[in-house]
Amino acid sequence: ETTRKWWKEATVYQIYPASFKDTDGDGWGDLKGITEKLPYIKKLGVDVIWVCPFYDSPQQDMGYDIADYEKIWPRYGSNEQCYELIDKAHSLGLKVVVDLVINHCSADHKWFEESRSSKDNAKRNWFIWKPAKGFDTSGKPIPPNNWRSFFGGSAWEWDEKTQEFYLRLFASRQPDFNWELSEVRHAIYETSVGFWLDHGVDGFRIDVGGMYSKDQSFPDAEVKDPNAEFQDPLKHFANGPRIHEFHKEMHQFMVDRVKDGRELLTVGEIGFGTEQDFIDYTSAKEKEIGMMFNFKHVTVGEDPAFKYKLVPWTLKDFKLAVAESFQFINGTDCWSTIYIENHDQPRSVSRFGDDSPEWVATSAKMLAVMEIALTGTLFVYQGQELGQPNIKGWATEQYEDVELRGNYEYVLKQFGPNSKEMKLFHEAVQLISRDHARTPFPWTPESPSGGFTSAKTPWFELNPSYPAINAENQLQDPNSVFHFWSKALQVRKANKDLLVYGYDFEFHDLDHDKLFLFTKKYADQTLFAAFNFSSSETEFKTPVPGKYTQFFGNYRQPDNSSVLRPWEGRLFYVE
Ligand code: ISL
């Protein structure tokens, strides 16, 4: 059985600073806005806030391109305001987790400016520089290998001044650090980890945590798509050769740096790997990270070779993928996470529920019931507590995410505007764009900016759903998704043995295409959970003999029948 820890039982609320609350009228959210809204977050009943990057940045990738790890981006406020936010959160009993973005930084970071200044600069090798493979007939340099960037095109960026390429797995101005050098790693730990531990944070969400260790031969990736100029390189750096050594070292740095005995929450964005990889990262005795995010369930229905191409999927795929995120911890000293939304994912009610006016609230509540019933640390993303749906009816041009734009350019160049590939791209944007999660938070139904800002134009348009789906309306309505989430979190706390720490998870009727049924245990207690992923009534069977007592569900009138109503979820004790 797993050791109990505060961070295993906690629910984390994820905040996207650009879009949470603007207090100074510049159209961008800010740290003061977060501080102002802490009572709202507290009311929801979470225990921790995770604030996405607020550091100084040219914002090519919404702050995941950091120019100075120790300074707040001026539009978000000052360092003092950040320390105030941490203090205020602590005084309300909320812990604070910050984003640790250290696979890469911004090209504006002073280390990169030094590194690119000349081939013999002392920091040249702090980043990954390679000469061109050659030059094509028009004199254009050919990248060192065929790796594709996550954000479209080559993963290598040509630097005119020193006539070499630098590696950037993400945006063009997001150079990857060279983690092979101990000097680089310690400089990173000092500025990004040490600095913020000294300022009292309670932990880190570790961005791109599985990709620091690249295959040092930088081989060409296997050609999976013969029509494409660049290929999927994931296997040459995902969970690479030295990754566990690096995490152990960073963990030790954290332990040595914390002077007041506080225990940190660390969660790694790992994405993909084998069960053994997940065990290696999160096993307590390995001393690496506390828990990790798996991407399996949030990428169901996306082509693994290219995310902006949807493929058919079944409920069974989703069920298996959800279970993959925590089943590996059974009987081990590992831990994991529960999440279905974040700033890189669309809205769960549109993706896995039903966002039609008739079922949007019911299915959002059902997904809440599902999440509180699963084992692991629960993460809720801003707006999820309102059942906010995806953006509807925008043309691709209205989306602004750098990942989307980069891949759009790529499809346009490679296949053309009227190709079948482009048609599939537009379709995928409507369902899975990261921007669905990034529109300003709808505080009120007021036009034009839903209480988010007093500026005429917010940095990004609001989701057109805000007059109907917003915090003010939901706070007034006792049957709202917000109040339901808050109740659900209380139920999770009151039943934490079974819900948070339950083990021996088992599917029932796994092949059923509407029902998600499972049992799990804690000591002599048994939970049965039943969910109807459809808008039609669906009969279910109780899987084991016993007395079933329903203790939570998303319909107001409990029902003793064995028929689940549309998008109904129920939790039972089995005796
Ligand atoms: O969005 C994705 C999954 O569908 C990935 O391609 C994503 O870019 C990857 O998971 C890494 O994400 C993190 O680092 C990126 C940043 O754009 C994301 O917002 C961040 O979560 C680069 O720093």
DSSP states of 533-561 as a string? -SSS-EE---SSSS-EEEEEESSSS---S
170 lines ligand 1 (CB under 6 A): yes
The reply to whether ipTM tops 0.90 is: yes
Please give the distance, rounded to the nearest whole angstrom, from the Cα atom of residue 344 to the centre of ligand 1: 6
Instruction: Read off the tokens for 381.
Output: 């993303």
Residue 87: exposure state from Cβ atoms within 10 A (0-12, 13-18, ≥19):
middle
- Tracing tokens 């360092």 back to the chain, one arrives at 79
Residue 574: exposure state from Cβ atoms within 10 A (0-12, 13-18, ≥19):
middle
Report which protein residue has its CA nearest ligand 1's atom 12.
Answer: 208
Please give the distance, rounded to the nearest whole angstrom, from the Cα atom of residue 463 to the centre of ligand 1: 22
DSSP string for residues in 294-326: E-TGGGTTEETTEEEEE----HHHHHHHHHHHH
CA 29 to CA 283: how far, in whole Å?
37
| Residues whose CB falls within 8 Å of the CB of residue 287, separated by 6 or more in sequence, listed in order | 248, 251, 252
pLDDT digits (tens, 9 = 90+) for 309-363: 999 999 999 999 999 999 999 999 999 999 999 999 999 999 999 999 999 999 9
pLDDT digit string (tens) for the chain, length 575 residues: 689 999 999 999 999 999 999 999 999 999 999 999 999 999 999 999 999 999 999 999 999 999 999 999 999 999 999 999 999 999 999 999 999 999 999 999 999 999 999 999 999 999 999 999 999 999 999 999 999 999 999 999 999 999 999 999 999 999 999 999 999 999 999 999 999 999 999 999 999 999 999 999 999 999 998 988 999 999 999 999 999 999 999 999 999 999 999 999 999 999 999 999 999 999 999 999 999 999 999 999 999 889 999 999 999 999 999 999 999 999 999 999 999 999 999 999 999 999 999 999 999 999 999 999 999 999 999 999 999 999 999 999 999 999 999 999 999 999 999 999 999 999 999 999 999 999 999 999 999 999 999 999 999 999 999 999 999 999 999 999 999 999 999 999 999 999 999 999 999 999 999 999 999 999 999 999 999 999 999 999 999 999 999 999 999 887 889 999 999 999 999 99
CA 352 to CA 297: how far, in whole Å?
10
**How far from the centroid of its chain's Cα atoms is residue 308's Cα?**
17
Element (H, E) at 205: strand 203-206
Using most ligand atoms within 8 A of CB, pick from 403, 410, 434 the residue to mutate for ligand 1. 403
E-strand ranges in 366-502 read 377-381
What is the number of other CB atoms lying within 10 angstroms of the CB of residue 527?
21
Please give the distance, rounded to the nearest whole angstrom, from the Cα atom of residue 401 to the centre of ligand 1: 11
Using most ligand atoms within 8 A of CB, pick from 54, 104, 170, 309 the residue to mutate for ligand 1. 170
179 lines ligand 1 (CB under 6 A): no
Residue 2 is predicted with a pLDDT of 83
16 lines ligand 1 (CB under 6 A): no
Please give the distance, rounded to the nearest whole angstrom, from the Cα atom of residue 448 to the centre of ligand 1: 30
| Ligand 1 atom closest to 344 (CA) | 1
Give me the sign of the Cα torsion angle 36, 40, 43, 45. Answer: negative
| Ligand 1 atom closest to 302 (CA) | 4
Please give the distance, rounded to the nearest whole angstrom, from the Cα atom of residue 208 to the centre of ligand 1: 7
Residue 378 is predicted with a pLDDT of 98
| Residues whose CB falls within 8 Å of the CB of residue 10, separated by 6 or more in sequence, listed in order | 46, 47, 48, 95, 265, 377, 378
Task: Of 375, 362, 376, give the one whose Cα is nearest residue 519.
Answer: 375
CA 438 to CA 344: how far, in whole Å?
9
Instruction: Note the pTM of the prediction, 2 decimals.
Output: 0.98
| Ligand 1 atom closest to 298 (CA) | 4
56 lines ligand 1 (CB under 6 A): no
- Count how many Cα atoms sit within 13 Å of the Cα of residue 412 in the half-sphere of its side chain: 9
Please give the distance, rounded to the nearest whole angstrom, from the Cα atom of residue 47 to the centre of ligand 1: 25
CA 531 to CA 553: how far, in whole Å?
10
Element (H, E) at 413: helix 402-415
Report which protein residue has its CA nearest ligand 1's atom 1.
Answer: 344
DSSP string for residues in 331-379: TSS---EE-S--TTS--HHHHTS--STTTHHHHHHHHHHHHHTSSSEEE
pLDDT digits (tens, 9 = 90+) for 194-233: 999 999 999 999 999 999 999 999 999 999 989 889 999 9
**How far from the centroid of its chain's Cα atoms is residue 404's Cα?**
16
Instruction: Read off the tokens for 436.
Output: 């669905």
**Helix 275-282 vs helix 243-257: angle between axes, to the nearest 10 degrees?**
20
Instruction: Read off the tokens for 119.
Output: 């081939």
207 lines ligand 1 (CB under 6 A): yes
**Quick check: helix, strand or coil at residue 220?**
coil
Element (H, E) at 71: strand 68-72
- Tracing tokens 């109807």 back to the chain, one arrives at 532
Residue 53 is predicted with a pLDDT of 98
Active-site residue numbers? 207, 269
Please give the distance, rounded to the nearest whole angstrom, from the Cα atom of residue 109 to the centre of ligand 1: 20
Report which protein residue has its CA nearest ligand 1's atom 3.
Answer: 344
Using most ligand atoms within 8 A of CB, pick from 64, 177, 399 the residue to mutate for ligand 1. 64
CA 211 to CA 361: how far, in whole Å?
38
Let me know: does 291 contact 282? Beta carbons within 8 Å. Answer: yes
